[in-house]
Each structure stands twice: as C-alpha cells, then as structure tokens.
Amino acid sequence: MTIPRSHPRYVSLTARDKLVEGWKNGLVATQGLIAHGRGEAFDYLLGEVTTPEAEMATNAAVCMLLLAEKPVISVNGNVGAMAAPEIATLCGLLDCPAEINIFHRTDDRVNRLVEHLEKNGCRKVLGSDPDARLEGLDHARALCSMDGIFTSDVVLVPLEDGDRCKALKAAGKSVITIDLNPMSRTAVTADVTIVDNLIRSMPNLIRVIKGYQKRLLLGGITPEKLKAELSSYSNDNNLKDTLKKITEKFS
Ligand code: PTJ
C-alpha cells in the first residue's frame, strides 16, 4: 500500500514500512519489530516531535563526535534498515567506519547489513569478521573489531542494550545513544542520550555536524569552545527535563 504524504502519521508509517521491508530482506530481527513498537509508545508520549532537550543533546553529541580521535557508529538491524543513507552521510562527514553489531547474531544477517550499508554509500563497514571481545558480556554483542569499536574513543550507538552500554563505558569509551525511552538503562548510562526517534534524529545530527564544521572552518568556533559546550552539558538533567515535559503534558 502507498501511504499518502498527507497522512498525519506519514513519517511514522513510512518508518514502519522500512522496518517491515528490512525484516523481509533479512536485515531486521523479528524482535526488532517489537522493539520499534516499544519506541513508538514513547514517541507518542513525546508528541512525535524533537524536543528542545533532544536538540540540546544533539549539540552535545556533535561536540563529542567532532572532538573524538576515533569515532565509530555501531549499527544493529533496526538502525541499518531505517537509516542506511544517513549512516553513510555521517560516516563521510566524520571520516569514520560503521560497525555492524547485533544482538540476535547470524553471519547471514551481519553480511546482509554490511552489503546494505555499502550499497547506501558507506565506504568502510566493519563487523563481519570480529577479532576482539568487549569484557563483561556473555552474548554476541561482545564481538567487535580491533580496528573499530575495540580501539575507538567515542561510539555512537542508537537503540542500544543497557548491558552493552555499560560494557562500552567500562572499556573507557564515551557513549552517545539515541533512545526514545528516557528511563532505559542505556539512556541513563550513556554520556549523551538523544531522546528522539532515530528517523528524526539522524537528519538532525547531519544538519548540526555540517553547521559546526562550517563554523570551525570559518573560525566562528574553536575546539576549546566545543570542549566547553560539552562540559556544560548534563545528561542527567537533560533526561529529567525530558521526563518532566512528558508528565506535565498529561497532568
Ligand atoms: O538487530 P539486533 O539483533 O541487534 O536487535 C536490535 C534490537 C532493537 C531488537 C535490540 O537492540 C533490542 O532488543 O532493543 P530494545 O532493548 O528492545 O530497544 C532498545 C531501545 O530503543 C528501547 O529503549 C526502545 O524504546 C528504543 N527504540 C525503539 N525504536 C526506536 C527507539 N529509539 C529511537 N528511535 C526508534 N525508532
């Protein structure tokens, strides 16, 4: 069925279609469809809009990514199916690899995701041949690449599991996540949590990175200013403000 652009929930319904298509093509785990529904419930509470708090977290995330020495974007099935072109653009802007890292791991799905990202313009996609392990995880998400996540300093990992987020932190990484649930273990463990829908957040990240890069080039801001902006950001406060916004709306 073709969804008319005039439909009030066009964006959300299109994202669902991308996931279902991704599931049919072997990119998305069946469980990924359930995970998306969980996210949608929180998006409904947020009013399906990007909040000022999410904008603030996006700015902090961009400062962190631009200051990073070796950033990596960790991609699971849902993220790959919904945002492959945006991942390719982000990797190009940051000159960094994407790494496939999935919970319900099969080699077939990893290889399909690698191919899908490459087809969408990603130049370096890791994950099909893991040669390192994150400490403290007993499942497949421990597997990673020496050249990627294992030696990275900043990991952007949308829709993450709480225990892997903790393991990444324990390994000394700075973690940026995108998660619609401001109370999830990942949301509270990450250094920067963008509480927003992946489908709105990825284009926002691209827009903000381009803006900061232009200002860096023209001398409007300096790396010191990025550091200062990042250190003034509090993830705890941002999550509390987001929750307050949700509860106030319904009180
Ligand atoms: O591809 P795999 O095998 O790695 O599996 C990926 C899933 C997503 C199934 C796996 O990571 C998983 O079980 O995820 P969770 O823990 O159910 O969901 C992670 C978080 O993402 C939850 O807090 C959801 O609310 C949130 N979420 C779901 N969809 C979105 C989202 N956040 C932002 N945008 C979304 N579209």
* Domain ranges, residue 125: 52-249
pLDDT in tens, 12-24: 888 999 999 999 9
CA of 29 to the centre of ligand 1 (A): 11
Predicted confidence band of residue 250 (pLDDT cuts 50, 70, 90): confident
Q: Does residue 134 lie in a domain region?
A: yes
Q: Does residue 227 lie in a domain region?
A: yes
pLDDT in tens, 77-129: 999 999 999 999 999 999 999 999 999 999 999 999 999 999 999 999 999 99
The residue whose CA is least distant from atom 1 of ligand 1 is 77
pLDDT of residue 203: 97
Whether pLDDT at 220 is above 80? yes
Whether pLDDT at 239 is above 80? yes
Q: Does residue 172 lie in a domain region?
A: yes
pLDDT of residue 30: 97
Residue type at position 86: E
Whether pLDDT at 228 is above 80? yes
Q: Does residue 70 lie in a domain region?
A: yes
The residue whose CA is least distant from atom 9 of ligand 1 is 32
Q: Does residue 19 lie in a domain region?
A: no
Percent of the chain with pLDDT over 70: 100
Predicted confidence band of residue 251 (pLDDT cuts 50, 70, 90): confident
Q: Does residue 35 lie in a domain region?
A: no
Cα separation, 131 vs 1, whole angstroms: 43
Q: How many C-beta atoms surround the C-beta of residue 195 within 10 A?
A: 29
Q: Does residue 14 lie in a domain region?
A: no
Please report the atom of ligand 1 found closest to the CA of residue 162: 16
pLDDT in tens, 132-162: 999 999 888 899 999 999 999 999 999 988 8
Predicted confidence band of residue 249 (pLDDT cuts 50, 70, 90): confident
Predicted confidence band of residue 207 (pLDDT cuts 50, 70, 90): very high
pLDDT of residue 112: 98
Cα separation, 112 vs 67, whole angstroms: 32
For the chain, the domain total comes to 1
- Integer CA distances (angstroms), 137 to 4, 50, 142, 144, in order: 44, 33, 5, 12
pLDDT in tens, 33-68: 999 999 999 999 999 999 999 999 999 999 999 999
Please report the atom of ligand 1 found closest to the CA of residue 82: 36
The CATH number covering residue 177 comes to 3.40.50.12640
Mean pLDDT (the chain) is 95
Residue with tokens 């920067």: 192
Which of the listed residues 13, 46, 78 should we mutate to test ligand 1's pocket, taking the one with most ligand atoms within 8 A of CB? 78
Residue pair 98/73 in contact by the 8 Å Cβ criterion: yes
Q: Does residue 68 lie in a domain region?
A: yes
pLDDT of residue 188: 97
